[in-house]
Amino acid sequence: MRSTGASGASASSSRHHSVASRPASCQRSSSALSASSSFIRSRLRSIYPSMQNTPDLTDATIYNEWSEDTIRFGDMDATGHVNNVAFARYVESGRVPFMRSDLIPAYDNTQRFVVGHLSIHFRAQAWWPGTVRIGTVVAKLGRTSLTLGHGLFVEDRCIATAETVMVYIVEGKASPLPETVRAGLEKLLAA
């Protein structure tokens, strides 16, 4: 949008400002961001008690199920590293074999598990070519859901962690986990 100032000169107005032109109060140091992230995490844990018992998903030793996926040339973005959307596909490559295992009832027209929530914490960049190892573990059990924890590793480096909440659906409605399913999943809970 163009506007004319008091002198009659045309000036261009913009909503975007460079970091250097922002007021000092809007520029945060990395230590301030880290402190505010820690505060936010602790506040969320006090509001959502289920967050308190989350296993350390960066620790490769907690996983009892492993899958692999190939980093494809098409997974890269314009900057040359793996795009964030590809990370969701890698998580899927770990989740699907686990959810199709003998522990989980076979899907049919009346009952199944559906993804209720997926969150990914990006921890490091990855590049093509390569292989991603995906660890999957049962992180939590709820009344009608289970939460899977995932770790994505390239060589020995954790590039991302994720949590997938799988909701058990019977005839279109969230339903309590069957006792036989719960008993099998409890054996796989991360310590």
| Domain contains 8 | no
Q: What is the pLDDT of residue 42?
A: 59
Q: What is the pLDDT of residue 38?
A: 57
99 and 118 housed in the same domain: yes
Residue 160 corresponds to which tokens in the numbers above?
């991302």
Q: What is the pLDDT of residue 41?
A: 53
| Domain contains 7 | no
Q: Where is the domain boundary, 5, 27, 53?
A: 53
Q: What is the pLDDT of residue 20?
A: 42
Q: What is the pLDDT of residue 153?
A: 98
SS3 163: strand
Q: What is the pLDDT of residue 54?
A: 80
Q: Is 136 exposed, middle or buried (0-12, 13-18, 19+ CB in 10 A)?
A: buried
| Number of domains present in the structure of the chain | 2
- Closest among 116, 134, 118, 106 to 174, alpha carbons compared: 116
110 and 60 housed in the same domain: yes
Domain holding 144: CATH number?
Answer: 3.10.129.10
| Domain contains 172 | yes
Look up the domain containing 34 and give its range. Answer: 16-53
Does residue 129 have a cis bond before it (omega within 30 degrees)?
Answer: yes
pTM: 0.73
> Which residues of the chain have a pLDDT value below 70?
1-52
70 and 154 housed in the same domain: yes
Q: What is the pLDDT of residue 108?
A: 86
